[in-house]
Amino acid sequence: MQTNFFSLVKQLNISGNLHINIQPQPNGELIVSLLLDTYFVKVDAN
């Protein structure tokens, strides 16, 4: 299966680390969560 998932994520122009968690459920569904970690991102206040 070929998707453009990573191309689409790249277009978001995110600054920081994106953590993706995929948790399968007993009924076959998936719970997907994203966490954007900007702890190490330097912000220029000027």
pLDDT digits (tens, 9 = 90+) for 29-42: 999 999 988 887 77
Asked if 34 and 19 count as a contact pair (C-beta separation under 8 A), the reply is yes
**Could you tell me which of 15, 18, 20, 9 has the C-alpha nearest to residue 36?**
18
39 is a domain residue: yes
Q: pTM (2 decimals)?
A: 0.60
Q: Which residue range forms the structural domain that includes residue 41? A: 15-46
**Could you tell me which of 43, 46, 28, 8 has the C-alpha nearest to residue 20?**
8
pLDDT higher than threshold 80 for residue 3: no
28 is a domain residue: yes
CA distance 30 to 10: 23
How many structural domains are present in the chain?
Answer: 1
pLDDT higher than threshold 90 for residue 44: no
Residue 30 confidence (pLDDT): 96
pLDDT higher than threshold 60 for residue 8: yes
7 is a domain residue: no
pLDDT higher than threshold 90 for residue 45: no
Residue 38 confidence (pLDDT): 83
**Could you tell me which of 38, 35, 10 has the C-alpha nearest to residue 21?**
35
